[in-house]
Structure 1
Amino acid sequence: MATTLSSLLSRTHLTDHDEILSAANAVLKKSKGDPEAQHVKAVALLKLDRFDDALRVFEAGGDALKERARLEFAYALYKSGRPEEAAEVAGLDGAERGLRHLLAQATYRAEEFERAREVYGQLGGREAQTRGEENDSGREGELVQKKKPAREDLEAFETAYNAACGCIARGELGQGEVLLRRARDLCNALEELTEEEKVAEIMPITVQLVYVLCRLGKMEEAERLSSTIHIPDIPDLSTRHIAQVNALCSSAEPTNPYLSQRLFSNTPKLPASDRLFTYQSSTLRQNAYAMDLLTLKTSGVAKSTSAFLSTQTDLPTSSSIATISVLNAAATANLQTGKAGIKAMLPLLEKRPNDVGLVLTIIQLYLKDNNHGTALTLLTTFLNRLEASGTPADLEIRYTPGLVGALVSLYSLQGRSATIRTELANASAYWQEHSQSGRPPSSLLRAAGSALLASQDPTDLRKAGEIFESLLETDPADRLATAGLIAAYATTAPEKITQAHLDALPLSPLEAAGVARPPAALGPVSAKRAAPQKEKQNKAKKLRKSRIPKDFEEGKKVDPERWLPMRERRGVVAEEKAGSRSETPTPGSKIVGGGGGGQGAQKKKKKGKGGSGEVGAGLGGYMCGMAGVLHCRVD
């Protein structure tokens, strides 16, 4: 049968996959179990993009065909929208290099990004260069890690586009815009591509560029560029849908919400083979609910978002869940704000006490009404309840960086710096101990370390040093962490500061101008005696007559305890008639050196007059002390 199939295939052109498929079917009519004919038929169907039909051939051929054509079987699963199963087949022991390429792509499509990074890293290196796979493996393996675009990224439009996508994913939108324009120009300059091929290659680049321009606030340019895209001509359905959404978002002028909703939903349903990533589908779901709210479909949004939230098992801190919670709160409150909106949302909080999005929405409404105290009380009550629960899930919610940041912002409005340091220190300690990935949130650790540096407490400084040390373990080139470590350990543990730490910091403006550094930045202070300096003679300030007491004598030393209450002065003596000192001054006692008392200090106090006698002077001093206490905030 193999000879018959070979003779049939020899009479067909290699690119004529329909004829190859017909030849394979002819052989299979005579021998249904012919493994070579089954293999050829599966490959022909894959070439014709008939992926579901190819999978049916593999199912009919059984394990023998799947093992014989393992690469083709994994590819059929991948193209049929089943990347998890494709990765399982491609990742079996003894996989050839082609299967490892497919494994990397399938794990990426299944959103197993860490595993995809590892596989791409294994595929890179010298072997990739030898096989001419730098653009397929080595470059992609580097792009999934944080890096700056290199010179080779600008040599071809494919690598420039990939580098642009990496920048966009890291939030570096300005650099992403530059690389996207570079990719478009490189593609236009290619002579080996036809005009139709150029249009097909530039289309996704343009759609991505419109998105970036919208994010950068360049709405007029985004709208102008979006108008050049003929959306119905985009063959890829997911790209077509995204382009339609970007066209709506890029409009510089307000549009009719009912027309926008119609255009938003006027795209065909995406097949399983062209499914979106989770972050894409989540954003589009939010957009759909927002469109419904703009067209006043509040009851429908409230009902559908409640149903969605009831089926979710992820933590409520997930951005996709928290955003839907916000939309649900807005729909339940019938888009009301202020006290009316808060009144409508508070009953929801009783039903969903752990709903992070709902709590933050109510807090935002309180802040809009300048009710900062109630907003802080609501958030601290919510977080304290989670902390008291003690369960791993509740503690993870409690120390979510976003919630910690919100709490710190509210504390900063009240100037509670000590409380801020405590909160950030506790949050950083939690994540350093419980981070599953081994990489605590760097933004939170930076904030905690910086806040602890402001303290003069050696314990806080040591904690700050430990935090910056952990940041340097993750990224040794982090200059902020290096500077923080030096500042924290300079007085508490200078032996932990190495010359490498000092060399990593840039020169200060003075050093760059030529001012020499000390021979030992952290060494002992030089014992060389400083040159004697002439003491400055301060001129005595001339007091105004209105400020001079009546009994003032020039040259007489003023009592330093004149502002203290009588009971706290050391010079209190009893009247001469008593003949002995009394611990508690009596109304008739004298104050030694009691300047500032005026004439009332020497005469009897008149009945009914507070005057400026002994009691009056004591009360004045007491109130002065209290003023100091009241102006000192206790955190």
Structure 2
Amino acid sequence: MVAQSLASLLQRASIDDHEEVIQSCDAVLAKSKSDLKAQHMKVVALLKLDRYEEALKIFEAGGDDLKNSAGLEYAYASYKCGELEEATEALTRTASGRGASHLEAQVRYRAENFRRAAELYEELSKDTSYSQEVNDLNINSWATDAQLQWKGEPEFVRHDRLSREDLESFETTYNGACLNIAKGAFKQGEILLNRAQSQHPAVLPETHICRTSEDLSPEEKTAELLPIAVQQLYVLIRLGKLEEAEAALKDIAVEDIPELSTKKIARNNIVLARPTAVNPYILYKALHATPDATNNDRLFEYQDRDLIGNSHAADLLVQKYDGIIRSTAKALSKRPSPSTDTITNLLSVSNAAAHARNETGPKALRKITPLLERRPTDLGLLLTVVQLYISSGNTASAITAMERSLRSLEESNESIRFNPGLLSVLVSLYQLEGRTVQIRNTLAQAAAYWRTQPEPPASLLRAAAASLLHSEKRSDLATAGELFRGLQQQDANDRVAIAGYVASQATLDYAQIESQLDSLPAVSDLIADVDVSALESAGIAPSASSAAAAAAAFAGARKRTAATADGARKRVRKSRLPKDFDPAKKPDPERWLPVRDRSSYRPKGKKGKQRAAALTQGGPVNEKAEESAPQQQKPAGGSSNAKKNKKKGKR
């Protein structure tokens, strides 16, 4: 009976009778609740009606048997409801085939595992027998590359330039614009966005609209233009074209945007496009007007991060300090610590700003440093304290705070302790203080740790090896050689690694690197296109030695200004010469001294000779004259004249 009803059900099923399918399945399930075929058919009908939550409830009621027999449908229902972990598990456990690969790529994309999504789209594109999927796969792979660029993984981006065929599709053109925007090429992104908008079915005349857009209503076509307008507004803001951004606001009807995520981004960009001198309470209300998106419509991490930062900034402007402290503390308690996650550390910064009550400098430090003593491994709080110390000109205290926190991480989490970004801050602080030994030791410790890990950061190893080259210890040079050797094995064409290895081993074992000298470019080739004169005329500061030589030459030129080219003296005007001047006679070398100080001076008369003898230093002393000279002394008491001149007072 059940088999016959299902057979008749399948015969009568069409694209328009999903409700009838559900009713027939319900009739069967009323007699047998565990009928897998009826459950499966009802789930498919619910999915076609976009009733994903109801379909998921059927799966929960059917248990593992239904989930295993309809693994693809269960994964799709979970994906549409935002349960991405369950969808991924179902796909890897039960589903297979091309349809499962398409769905897995969508799930990985939504879960922000863009690397895996890009691999899946590349694998699907290799099978050219599915020609009807070529356009969709191209669109999706361009979108994935844009997300990879935004997430900070540009090395995995596969696309570079749009081909002529790509530019014929507004979806591909729009995704190409997003990739350029993610790279920071806003001008190129603006051009492509304008092209994508002009190619959209809502803009093109009816004769140019493609068949795939015939199923869309005019309202739906207009709604598809809104995300492009929101992206254009963002680009105009980044380009500093605020007047054009203000004009673009007229084309954005925020209330008509169906997706909450796009609506929230639109409100944020509209607020930023408006004049900055706005009432902070109006700003706060505008940024919190749209509720947070959920399930499959939620924001990506890099979008959520920026909007959280803007939201907390608005909270600080309206002085909601206690509320920020409570909300950020609650959010931080649910996240692992220590963590290098961007959102986690942004929450810590907002928490610190709320504790400081919008103060800066020493006033803020007095309120925040006690927090760091209680939470020494909170990286966002640590970097906030370091920034405040630096802005106050206290580099030594910033170094002390960094070193204390890093010591706290030595046993708990070494991967964060030797995080390249965190160490770059410490090394920069050391450079400000001129602490070269600490720089070398810090990078050497980090290199020793990362060499034991499967994927060491090449930039850190290169910096550590370059620092060890300046050491006088043979052990440090040997370590630098090992690091450069490892980098050379990863990339045989890495000239920095080759040159570093040669430099490190030249004094240790010259025979070992003699064969590699030919692989290094000659110095003459490296500086062949360098115009030293042009650099100096452009304002490039010379080295210390050349600057000193130039100063000496300049001083010498100043000293020789009295001489002409042939060595002759310049002629002095007659008006500046004395009346009895004889050019053949040698001038008196004492002519600049006063007359009585010259060696030729002879005083006249008896008094003159006595005065000269008394004033001459180093001459003979007349002891009798010294003894006979009256000695002036101060009276021990008041003089008689003082008594005579004293006025009498009243008795």
Match of 1:510 among 522, 525, 528: 528
Between the aligned partners of 1:42 and 1:267, the Cα distance in structure 2 is 33
Alpha-carbon contact 1:124-1:138 (below 8 Å) kept: no
Q: What residue in structure 2 maps to residue 620 of structure 1?
A: none
TM-score normalized by structure 2?
Answer: 0.66
> Among residues 424, 428, 435, which one is paired with 1:405 in the alignment?
424
- Bigger drift between 224-233 and 109-118 goes to 109-118
Structure 1 counterpart of 2:358, which letter?
L
User: Following TM superposition, by how much is the alpha carbon of 1:231 offset from its aligned partner in structure 2, in angstroms?
Assistant: 1.0
**AA matched with 1:225:** A
| Distance in 1 (alpha carbons) for counterparts of 2:477 and 2:192 | 43
Matched, 1:414 2:433: yes
Greater helix percent: which structure? 2
Equivalences for 1:137-286 in 2 at 5 Å? 140=141, 143=145, 144=148, 145-152=156-163, 153-166=166-179, 176-177=189-190, 179-187=192-200, 191-192=209-210, 193=213, 196-215=219-238, 217-286=240-309
Whole-angstrom distance in 1 between the partners of 2:258 and 2:524: 51
From 450, 457, 466, the equivalent of 1:441 is: 457
On the 8 A contact 2:458/2:487 being kept in 1, the answer is yes
Counterparts of 1:575-586 in structure 2, within 5 Å, are: none
Compared CA separation, residues 507 and 19, structure 1 to 2 (3 A): farther
Instruction: Give 1:86's aligned amino acid.
Output: A
Match of 1:339 among 362, 371, 381: 362
Native 8 Å contact 2:177 2:188 kept in 1 = yes
Match of 1:608 in 2: none
Partner of residue 105, structure 2? 104
* Aligned: 1:432 with 2:451: yes
**Quick one: distance in 1 between partners of 2:274 and 2:374?**
39
Shift in Å, 1:234:
0.9
Render the CA deviation track for 1:436-477: whole Å, top value 9, x for unaligned: xx4333443454455556778887666556555655666677
Pairing 1:293–2:316 present: yes
1:482 and 2:495 aligned? yes
Q: How far off its partner does 1:288 sit?
A: 2.5
Quick one: structure 1 residues 174 and 303, their matched pair in 2 at CA, closer, same or farther if it must change by over 3 Å? same
Is 2:395 the counterpart of 1:372?
yes
| Cα separation, partners in 2 of 1:363 and 1:66, compared to 1, 3 Å | closer
* Equivalent position of 1:306 in the other structure: 329
Equivalences, count: 507
Q: Deviation string for 1:302-344 (max 9, x for gaps)? A: 2322233333224243322222222111111211112221111
Task: Please tell me whether the aligned partners of residues 162 and 173 of structure 2 are also in contact (alpha carbons under 8 angstroms).
Answer: no
On the 8 A contact 1:120/1:138 being kept in 2, the answer is no
Return the letter of the residue paired with 1:157.
F
AA in 1 matched with 2:73: E
Gaps of 5+ in 1: 514-540, 545-635
2:411 to 391, 409, 422: 391
In the alignment, the residues of structure 2 paired with residue 57 and residue 498 of structure 1 have an alpha-carbon distance, to the nearest angstrom, of 71
Deviations along 1:253-301, one digit per CA (max 9) or x if unpaired, are: 3322111211221123434342333444344333322221110111221
- Provide the C-alpha distance between the structure 2 equivalents of 1:261 and 1:24, rounded to a whole number of angstroms: 51
For 2:275 and 2:460, the matched residues in 1 are separated by 36
Shift of 1:88: 0.7
Matched residue type, 2:456 = P
| Change beyond 3 A, Cα 1:456–1:116 | farther
One-letter amino acid matched to 2:90? V
Task: Confirm or deny: 8 A CA contact 1:184 1:205 kept in the other structure.
Answer: yes
Encode CA deviations 1:98-151: one digit per residue, 9 max, x unaligned: 112222322332344454455445434235766734643896298352345144
CA separation of 1:443 and 1:226: change in aligned 2, threshold 3 A: farther
CA contact (8 A) 1:203 1:229 kept: yes
Q: 1:262 to 1:511 in 2, by over 3 A?
A: closer
Distance 1:184 1:164 in 2: 11
Q: Give, in whole Å, the separation in 2 of the partners of 1:258 and 1:500.
A: 65
Query: Residues 24-43 of structure 1: matches in 2 within 5 Å?
Result: 24-25=25-26, 28=29, 35-43=36-44
For the residues of structure 2 that align with 1:359 and 1:35, how far apart are their CA atoms? 57
Aligned to 1:80: 81
- SS of the aligned residue for 1:159 comes to helix
Aligned to 1:577: none
- Shift of residue 373 of structure 1? 2.8
Change (3 A) 1:60 1:372: closer
CA distance in 2 between counterparts of 1:174 and 1:495 reads: 50
Corresponding position of 2:604 = none
Equivalent position amino acid for 1:397 in 2:
I
1:534-556 CA distance string (max 9 Å, x none): xxxxxxx99x9xxxxxxxxxxxx
Shift of 1:382: 3.3
Go from structure 1 to structure 2 and tell me whether the alpha carbon gap of 1:214 and 1:416 turns closer, same or farther (over 3 Å shift).
farther
Query: 1:202 and 1:484, CA in 2 relative to 1: closer, same or farther beyond 3 A?
Result: farther
User: What does residue 585 of structure 2 align with?
Assistant: none
Aligned to 2:71: 70
| Structure 1 pair 138–267 and aligned structure 2 pair: CA distance change class (3 A) | closer
Rate the CA distance shift 1:469–1:218 in 2: closer, same or farther, 3 A.
farther
Cα distance 1:132–1:272, how it changes in 2: closer, same or farther (>3 A)? closer
Conservation of the 8 A alpha-carbon contact between 2:324 and 2:354: yes
Q: Deviation per CA, 1:219-251, whole angstroms, max 9, x where unpaired?
A: 444444344221111111122112212222333
Structure 1 residues 30 and 164, CA gap change in structure 2 (3 angstroms): same
User: Does the CA contact (< 8 Å) of 1:165 and 1:176 recur in 2?
Assistant: yes
The 2-side partners of 1:429 and 1:224 are apart by 57
- Secondary structure class of the residue paired with 1:85: helix
What is the DSSP-based 3-state SS (H/G/I as helix, E as strand, rest coil) of the residue aligned with 2:331? helix
Tell me the amino acid that sits aligned with residue 425 of structure 2.
A
Cα gap change, 1:475 to 1:298, in 2 (>3 Å): farther
Q: Given that residues 431 and 440 in structure 1 are in contact (C-alpha distance below 8 angstroms), is that contact kept between their aligned partners in structure 2?
A: yes
CA separation in 1, counterparts of 2:330 and 2:192? 42
Q: 1:430 to 1:166 in 2, by over 3 A?
A: farther
Question: Residue deviations 1:357-402, cap 9 Å, x none?
Answer: 222222222222222233233323433x23xx63150x33332223
Instruction: Evaluate the alpha carbon distance shift between residue 379 and residue 390 of structure 1 in structure 2; reply closer, same or farther with a 3 A threshold.
Output: closer
Percent of aligned pairs with the same amino acid? 42
- Measured at CA, do residues 350 and 201 of structure 1 come closer, stay the same or move farther in structure 2, by a change above 3 Å? same
Between 442-451 and 250-259, the greater mean CA deviation after superposition: 442-451
Give me the whole-angstrom Cα distance separating, in 1, the residues matched to 2:75 and 2:330.
36
Report the CA distance shift for 1:499/1:147 in structure 2 as closer, same or farther (over 3 A): farther
- Which one is further off, 356-365 or 29-38? 29-38
2:171 maps to amino acid: E
The residue type equivalent to 2:362 in the other structure is: K
Aligned to 1:605: none
After TM superposition, list the pairs within 5 Å mapping 1:310-329 onto structure 2: 310-329=333-352
**1:16–1:207 distance in 2 versus 1, CA, 3 Å:** farther
CA distance in 2, matches of 1:442, 1:359: 26
CA distance in 2, matches of 1:366, 1:138: 48
SS in 1 for 2:451: helix
